[in-house]
Structure 1
Amino acid sequence: MRALVTGAGRGIGRAVAEHLSGRGYRVALTARNEDELHKAAAACAGETLVVPADITSAVDQVFDRVEAAWGGVDVLVANAGAGSSAPVHRITDEDWSRMLELNLTAPFRCVRRAVPGMVAAGHGRIVVIASVAAKRGDPYVAAYTASKHGVLGLVRSAAAELAGAGVTVNAVCPGYVDTPMTDTTVAEVAAKTGRDPARVRATLAAKQPVGRLVSPAEVADAVWFCVGNGAVTGQGVDVSGGAVQS
């Protein structure tokens, strides 16, 4: 079986790649940072393919590389993403477009590219890493939240369309995860407010009833649940330490 993971160089994407590799999948890893990709690939248990690329502009090229090497993609995990923070009246057109391009349009293009081969094979698994922001609105993250609401809508509609074709489509919706993306959030908040970074991190952890950040491995476990269970489709699986109940 062959899997493609976007944003696979670090954080959630790397944890997912390692988990799938440990389950016997050949894993193609793509992200912009080639050094990080090679380190992530070295941590995998089985065969890997490193495909450095900017997923916002190179979806077809990434899939072409994987198909040329392995013949197709059985599992797509669309993980690449980023966040931004600003009051709604200060969000620039550029920031808005960047959030939508990376968090919504790039996953759409990946899904669009993966579906024909999966349907032809009669089997496929698509998992998009969304966020608890796909299910609620928090202040100062309107662009990010809009992109994540949109990608959950994409997942639900694609799942309904493909349910009879042997292809499942799900989202995993993490809360605050102990990743470099959260490190960036902490640094930005600390810089804007003058607060101690350790206190900022503690505040983010406290937003989750379990009182801590989610680990990347816990998110990878949820991805595997979506991959391994053919009766689960059209779902947004929360991994938020109880911050969102559904």
Structure 2
Amino acid sequence: MRLENIHAVVTGGGSGIGAAIARALATEGARLTLIGRRRDPLEAVAATLPQAIAVTADVADRASVDAAFAQARAVHGPIGILINNAGIAPSGPFARLPPEAWSQTMAVNLDALFHCCQSALPDLLAAPAGRIVTIASTAGVKGYGYVAPYVASKHGAIGLMRALAAEFAGTALTANSVCPGFTDTDIVARAIETISTHTGRSGDEALAELTRHNPQKRLIEPEEVAATTLWLCLPASRSITGQAIAVAGGEIM
């Protein structure tokens, strides 16, 4: 139980990668606060874990984040681990991209990191081994077509983690990014549907289009991302900071 009694906040903790991370942290004894917009999925995951609560919030809104973190502290105490996992991935040609889609993606994928990191920072700096792990993407270190806002926001997410790592290198706080390739989540399922709808390809053909980037020719499992995230949260990982770690089957960046 290497994380016993440590309070971990996981945004987007109601499904996919976030839920897998919550389960991994729970195996090491962490107290968990799962944050997201939809209460039912959060509560469903929290109910399966020994020390977990569900708190609804809009991570793109600072007042909502501050209120959620205050509620989390009231139950589990100061925050020792922050997992920034919530995100969206709209797709479409850049030439026809509505400004609203750009703004929304930046708000959820990048502005939310500012809100969450700054709101939790006093706790994280006071912790014996504070940890920030942001779930970015291979899109944070390379480009993909038809997802320009997502690519830009994930590049920004990695940049923010590197900046925090440099600024707080003299403390016990580390900040890292985990960069999954295409992962077996609801977001990727929707991407497959979109490809099929717009190109007429079958579901299998659409899946093959996504997995061609992975030399292993498969989707990454959420539990693989969770295992890397857990490793970064452990006390023994104190020298790992400012990194963007790919979990992508050998995809060339």
TM-score of Structure 1 vs Structure 2, range by shorter chain: over 0.9
Q: Which moved more, 1:119-128 or 1:227-236?
A: 119-128
Distance between the aligned counterparts of 2:252 and 2:160, measured in 1? 20
Q: What residue number does 2:74 align with?
A: 68
Q: What residue number does 2:186 align with?
A: 180
User: 1:12 is matched with which residue: 17, 29, 35?
Assistant: 17
Q: What residue number does 1:52 align with?
A: 56
| Cα drift, residue 176 of structure 1 | 0.2
Distance between the aligned counterparts of 2:48 and 2:65, measured in 1? 24
Deviation sequence 1:40-84 (CA, Å, 0-9, x none) = 11232x211110222212211111111111221100000000101
Distance between the aligned counterparts of 1:48 and 1:102, measured in 2? 23
1:134 aligns with 2:140: yes
User: 1:241 is matched with which residue: 239, 249, 252?
Assistant: 249
- For normalisation by structure 1, the TM-score amounts to 0.96
Distance between the aligned counterparts of 1:120 and 1:220, measured in 2? 25
User: 2:214 is matched with which residue: 208, 211, 231?
Assistant: 208
RMSD: 1.1
Q: Percent identity?
A: 40
Q: What residue number does 1:125 align with?
A: 131
Distance between the aligned counterparts of 2:173 and 2:82, measured in 1? 11
- For normalisation by structure 2, the TM-score amounts to 0.93
SS of equivalent residue, structure 2 residue 194: helix
1:31 aligns with 2:36: yes
State the one-letter code of the partner of 2:100. E
Distance between the aligned counterparts of 1:107 and 1:174, measured in 2? 18
Matched-pair contact (CA < 8 Å) for 2:59–2:115: no
Distance between the aligned counterparts of 2:252 and 2:25, measured in 1? 26
Q: What residue number does 1:158 align with?
A: 164
SS of equivalent residue, structure 2 residue 168: helix
Matched-pair contact (CA < 8 Å) for 1:137–1:145: yes
Matched-pair contact (CA < 8 Å) for 2:11–2:85: yes
Which consecutive unaligned segments of at least 5 residues does structure 1 have? none
User: 2:197 is matched with which residue: 191, 195, 202?
Assistant: 191
| Cα drift, residue 209 of structure 1 | 0.4
Distance between the aligned counterparts of 1:68 and 1:75, measured in 2? 16
Distance between the aligned counterparts of 1:237 and 1:162, measured in 2? 19
Distance between the aligned counterparts of 1:102 and 1:181, measured in 2? 14
Q: Which moved more, 1:212-221 or 1:104-113?
A: 104-113
Matched-pair contact (CA < 8 Å) for 1:238–1:244: no
Q: Provide the aligned length of Structure 1 versus Structure 2.
A: 244
1:114 aligns with 2:125: no
Q: What residue number does 1:232 align with?
A: 240
| Cα drift, residue 207 of structure 1 | 1.8
| Cα drift, residue 198 of structure 1 | 2.1
Which consecutive unaligned segments of at least 5 residues does structure 2 have? 1-5
Superposed structure 1 runs of 4+ greater than 3 Å apart: none
SS of equivalent residue, structure 2 residue 170: helix
State the one-letter code of the partner of 1:71. G
Deviation sequence 1:73-97 (CA, Å, 0-9, x none) = 1000000001011222111110110
Deviation sequence 1:8-27 (CA, Å, 0-9, x none) = 00000000001001110011
SS of equivalent residue, structure 1 residue 74: strand
| Cα drift, residue 146 of structure 1 | 0.4
